[in-house]
Amino acid sequence: MPDTFRTIAIATDLSERGDRAFDRAFRLAAAQGARLMIFSVVDDHLPEDMQETMAEGTRVRLEKAAAAQPGADTLEWSVTVLCGTPDTALAQAIGAHGIDLLVVGLHRHRPFMDLLRETTMERLVKLADCPVLIVRTASQAPYGTVLAALDFAPASGRALRLAHRLAPEAALHGVHAVHIPYQTMVAAPGIAGEIPPVISAEPFLAEARTSRDVFLDSHADLPGLSVEIGEGSIHAVLRGAMDRLHPDLIALGAHGRALPVPWLLGSFANDMMRDPPTDLLIAPPSRG
């Protein structure tokens, strides 16, 4: 049995988007035997008297909502209302209270603004020192199937282990996408010059299989772990695995620095955070 999370936090803005995250956080805290901390953030650009009024109203509403949760009387939970910007205030609270897992709901979808700048969720994952669970689906049972997008780097291994801690009874599956150069290149009409020949996929797949075997050896303690290798983009390969496995939790690793190949899991994790197909667990980059 893996180690459990000792302190779980839920961040909510009291919107309907956060209701499912609220339910999941309580269920996880009960299953893990964890202390639950409930956070909300009030904008510190408001006048001070308005901040105080909003903070008090938010605290009262959150305490009522928490007390109404099934099993709330058997858990250790608390409500804290912070003032500041959500990403910075929450990241500071996570560090100050030693949070092991932060649970959040979906971010507010703003198609135009999201194209121009990072979302609050992306900034929070960068700043936080703990894993972040983004809850999309209603919480009716413990997670049953975990699907991890793997690039065989340490970050994706951390994500897989964290998912096992979070859902120790769930089936564990990994998927690795192999990109084959020039496979989709086609000569454009009227363009002179030679097109590079189609490259055999086998050397790339063989290298991926070797990396998978090493990865499986180093994660032999994870029960029943299987890793599938697919040819194509990570988006397409993951979607195919989702159609077959129907996971209720996806695990990803967030990289702490820019990758030499930008289309790997760094940018992919950002894409998934903006519109996750199901619940999404993001492992933080190593701070070491």
Are both 97 and 212 inside the same structural domain?
no
| Residue 67 shares a structural domain with residue 167 | no
Domain that holds residue 281: 141-288
Please indicate, yes or no, whether residues 80 and 128 belong to a single structural domain of this protein.
yes
- Give the total number of structural domains in the chain: 2
**pLDDT score for 115:** 43
Per-residue pLDDT of 65-97, as tens digits, reads 999 999 999 999 999 999 998 889 999 999 999
- Triad 113, 117, 123: Cα angle to 5°: 120
pTM of this prediction? Answer: 0.85
Say whether both 152 and 238 belong to one domain.
yes
116, 75: one domain: yes
Regions of the chain where pLDDT drops below 70: 1-2, 17, 107-118, 182-199, 255-267, 285-288
Is residue 132 located within the same domain as residue 147?
no
Calculate the dihedral angle through the C-alpha atoms of 165, 168, 171, 175, rounding to the nearest 10 degrees.
10
Which of 140, 156, 172 terminates a domain? The answer is 140
For the domain that residue 282 is a member of, what is the CATH number?
3.40.50.620
Helix (H, G, I), strand (E, B) or coil at 2: coil
